[in-house]
Chains A and B, each alone.
Chain A
Amino acid sequence: QKEVEQNSGPLSVPEGAIASLNCTYSDRGSQSFFWYRQYSGKSPELIMFIYSNGDKEDGRFTAQLNKASQYVSLLIRDSQPSDSATYLCAVYTGANSKLTFGKGITLSVRP
């Protein structure tokens, strides 16, 4: 069973802090990696995508990928209350041509 694991959470950070969200995956053949944000009662929305080792930055978000250690992380700098949501890590392995999702971690940013 190919798995994607995320910290159980929830995670609470003060406004302006850096939130660090981690994800590990079991299939070494995994090809691409996604982070989705899901507000309560809403559908997931794509916020970051990464497929090569290293860092990828987009505004306040940085995705980090380490294929040797099989983890991918998401850093949110200068966290805002509007960042409070559940963050889903998703991995594409090629099996069933699907994205396998982690269970998500809920982030709460305290004003």
Chain B
Amino acid sequence: EAQVTQNPRYLITVTGKKLTVTCSQNMNHEYMSWYRQDPGLGLRQIYYSMNVEVTDKGDVPEGYKVSRKEKRNFPLILESPSPNQTSLYFCASSLFVPPTGEDGYTFGSGTRLTVV
């Protein structure tokens, strides 16, 4: 089944404890991106990647890191999480850039992160 897999689905952590949210897609998509979704603010892009070893900042990159060593994987790293990073995170991928009507973005199931 073609999909974007995120793990974990839920995570509660403490301030300052490094964490990684994994994202993997099995569709050979070139483009991958991370978004966070907050009430009243909608979906905001954190980082994106056009291809292996190519990553760039989105609108809200502060406090996050990413890497793209393999085409299928695009982990999101929080080196020192803070409470303002409590949010719902989505990984998304697309075969084409710009995304076409055939696929748009395919989203993962989401990771609900709580930082206390």
User: Does B74 count as interface, using CB distance less than 8 angstroms?
Assistant: no
Which of A43, A45, A51, A88 is close to B101, meaning CB atoms less than 8 Å apart?
Answer: A51
B104 pairs with A49, CB closer than 8 A:
yes
Chain A residues with Cβ below 8 Å from B97 are: 97
A98 pairs with B101, CB closer than 8 A:
no
User: Does B56 count as interface, using CB distance less than 8 angstroms?
Assistant: yes
Known: A31-B98, A43-B110, A92-B98. A99 touches B41 (CB 8 A): no
Total residue contacts A-B, CB cutoff 8 A: 62
B31 pairs with A97, CB closer than 8 A:
yes
Known: A32-B98, A43-B90. A98 touches B108 (CB 8 A): no
- Could you say which of A34, A43, A88 has the most chain B C-beta atoms within 10 Å of its C-beta? A43
CA distance A84 to B104 in the complex (A): 22
Chain A residues with Cβ below 8 Å from B44 are: 101
Closest to A41 in B: B110
B31 pairs with A44, CB closer than 8 A:
no
Closest to B106 in A: A46
Q: What total of chain A residues lie within 8 Å of the partner, measured CB to CB?
A: 25
* CB contact list, B29-77 vs A, under 8 A: 31, 33, 35, 40-45, 48, 50, 56, 58-59
A102 pairs with B42, CB closer than 8 A:
yes
CA distance A104 to B42 in the complex (A): 7
B58 pairs with A88, CB closer than 8 A:
no
B40 pairs with A98, CB closer than 8 A:
no
Known: A43-B107, A44-B107, A46-B105. A99 touches B42 (CB 8 A): no
Which of A31, A44, A96 is close to B90, meaning CB atoms less than 8 Å apart?
Answer: A44
* CB contact list, A28-47 vs B, under 8 A: 31-32, 34, 36, 42-46
Which of A42, A46, A94 is close to B98, meaning CB atoms less than 8 Å apart?
Answer: A94
CA distance A100 to B98 in the complex (A): 12
* CB contact list, A95-111 vs B, under 8 A: 96-104
CA distance A32 to B97 in the complex (A): 11
User: Does B99 count as interface, using CB distance less than 8 angstroms?
Assistant: yes
* CB contact list, B66-116 vs A, under 8 A: 90, 97-101, 103-105, 107-110
